[in-house]
Copies of this chain bind each other. A is one copy, B any other.
């Protein structure tokens, strides 16, 4: 059975029906989480893995004074390891941004998957590498990219990541993030995000309405963002670094 997870892992390693079935069997039935609710609960086995089947979530950190920073965005096919609880205190939380459907791979099932199938083992390792590459890229964005560049870069990243799980077509994808969400992800205020959005819209680079993002000028947007998809380690971006995705059927 094809799930967002297997779909994504196939970008790192070719997976046959055998591997896909092993994955599907390991996944426990999904549960739903409401927007704004936290996903990972204290006391979970830290070696198990939560996989997003649908919906968007985020790792975030909230200060007492109200400031919030979104540390990373979790899309369908992404894993949120509850490693957070490996030791004493959790340093961040994972929350749903939209209604989210979560499936779990238990600790033992996960261990068996990795030990019994080399391809899956490799795929999960590359997945983890890609996740840290994304985190590093966020560091670069927050540190050295300007407001417009940051916004443009995030949209480029999300479009490619969604493409990798079949949730985007050539130039558009869902964009459930509100402006407050974008602000907390990009380290700015909603007011400023709003104005930056108006700028990129005025530059005819993209449209964003009814929770859908359309790239009007993908190359222009990438140039502006200094976006180089190779850090995502996806097959698609290696095969065709220019025209990112083949047009949908």
Contact = CB atoms under 8 A, between A and B. Distances in A.
Given A230-B87, A231-B91, A139 B140 contact: no
A89 to B, nearest CB: 4
A136 B135 contact: yes
Nearest to A86: B129
Contacts of A87: 230, 233, 238
Contact of A86 (B68, B91, B126): B126
Quickly give the copy total for this chain: 2
A41 to B, nearest CB: 19
A186 interface: yes
Contacts of A114: none
A226 B233 CA distance: 35
A91 B238 CA distance: 13
B139 A86 contact: no
A59 interface: yes
Contacts of A91: 133, 136-137, 228, 230-231
Interface string A52-92: 00000001010100011111100000000001001111011
Interface of A: 59, 61, 63, 67-72, 83, 86-89, 91-92, 126, 129, 132-133, 135-140, 142-144, 184-187, 226, 228, 230-231, 233, 238
The 6 closest A-B pairs by CB, nearest first: A143-B187, A142-B142, A91-B231, A69-B144, A69-B143, A89-B230
13 contacts: A59-B136, A61-B136, A61-B140, A68-B144, A87-B233, A88-B230, A88-B238, A91-B228, A91-B230, A135-B135, A135-B136, A139-B139, A139-B142
